[in-house]
Structure 1
């Protein structure tokens, strides 16, 4: 049966509400404990162009999204009761591994600290999938992930249209291809309730920042890397445009005095 607004809104993590998709609709909240409300504010001048708050938050968002959507895809390949759900899971695993590799590459170049865990809200979605079985898993998987990807699609377009940073622009190009592919995969399951999904995307709840902020990684902790399991075929799965090699004539500009993202 299709997932309802009440079902999504009833997700909890440690007693804290982890309801629908505000983190994805409002990625400026991700990874930033205290920040100005001006996403266009330049926080660093780098050799790849100025880096704004919105640019920085977008890199953190893409990383955080992969940390729960990649594992969700793995669950779908194992628990999905239909070939379409399992195929959607394969696309998630491969697509987010590619995005994650790019995030891990450009984050140190731009002096951005990326998280090793998803937000509490995102972890709530993943925990829901872990507890689901049978057709309920299929329905929750298709509808929740259709909302999350649909909610961020316009944000990707805005970043792509406005950023002056070439590394962030390349990430937005890649994310556009991957997210559009994942939207299509969810729809191919035949389980998406478009009325409910559209309502969730256009009326997201306002959540406390703690629920939509990924935990700050411990100093010195190894960076978690998403990867494609050995033997999993990658044919037919878009991973986005190939990124260009970073300039090597000079080291990345150090954004001294600029806050990094936790």
Structure 2
């Protein structure tokens, strides 16, 4: 099984390399002033982190609906598709408002998770599915709480609220499969492998490439953030100000 997820990001000028160490550091430097509050590096990275999560977990949910052999795995798969479609809608709504560039592909590490699960079958698929997804959601859970408690940007706060609910739900349904090996999963979650940054960074979208859309299922129960009515952020925002990115 691969190591803990390190979903890494890009935005504004789409930095060429954003690895785990950079994302995990104190990135409170303001890179844009917006009418919804100042946007920091870690705010920007978080938006792309959520997008990147959906780009691999949504298709894994679709795979689980086809290959899962237990009711618990099938239920968890439905939650992945439903939850990440709604999160992705929110990401795609707020990204242009904040002048953030979103990837169309997950990182090489995340693509590796998808390849592994595509190759699995039967009980091995069920077990790997539950443990990989419990590990990756556990790894991002603390990041969400940090962003929610520190960001001064109201759009990023709204996304963090939605992500918190979604990730907690996904962790819970993985645990309810009865297949999670907590000793192994928590060790890998808290002791990620030392991968090169190139493995942890989703590639920037090609020029002119259509934006990938994660379509909600017909019976969707998760809903995107209602952007209407969100007020401006904290100090540093000017009423009516548009995104003004500084050097990345």
Structure 1 match to 2:199: 211
Q: 1:180 aligned to 2:168?
A: yes
Structure 1 match to 2:59: 71
Does the CA contact (< 8 Å) of 1:44 and 1:50 recur in 2?
Answer: yes
Distance 1:244 1:158, change over 3 A: farther
Q: How does 1:1-262 map to 2 (within 5 A)?
A: 8=1, 19-24=2-7, 29-31=8-10, 32-34=15-17, 38-229=26-217, 231=218, 233-235=219-221, 238-239=222-223, 242-245=226-229, 253-259=242-248
With normalisation by structure 2, the TM-score equals 0.88
Distance 1:174 1:38, change over 3 A: same
Aligned length: 233
Does the CA contact (< 8 Å) of 1:176 and 1:240 recur in 2?
Answer: no
Does the CA contact (< 8 Å) of 2:17 and 2:198 recur in 1?
Answer: no
- What is the alpha-carbon root mean square deviation over aligned residues? 2.0
Unmatched runs of 5 consecutive residues or more in structure 1: 1-7, 9-18
Does the CA contact (< 8 Å) of 2:90 and 2:225 recur in 1?
Answer: no
Give per-residue Cα distances to partners, 1:84-116, cap 9 Å, x unaligned.
100100000000000000000000000000000
Between the aligned partners of 2:149 and 2:47, the Cα distance in structure 1 is 15
With normalisation by structure 1, the TM-score equals 0.83
Does the CA contact (< 8 Å) of 2:5 and 2:110 recur in 1?
Answer: no
Does the CA contact (< 8 Å) of 1:40 and 1:52 recur in 2?
Answer: yes
Distance 1:38 1:151, change over 3 A: closer
| Runs of at least 4 residues off by over 3 Å | 34-38, 238-248, 256-259
Deviation at 1:228, TM superposition (A): 2.2
Deviation at 1:241, TM superposition (A): 6.0
1:33 is paired with a residue of what secondary structure?
coil
Distance 1:53 1:92, change over 3 A: same
Distance 1:220 1:124, change over 3 A: same
Unmatched runs of 5 consecutive residues or more in structure 2: 233-238
Deviation at 1:256, TM superposition (A): 3.9
Does the CA contact (< 8 Å) of 1:44 and 1:258 recur in 2?
Answer: no
Between the aligned partners of 2:73 and 2:138, the Cα distance in structure 1 is 18
Distance 1:244 1:188, change over 3 A: farther
Distance 1:114 1:252, change over 3 A: farther
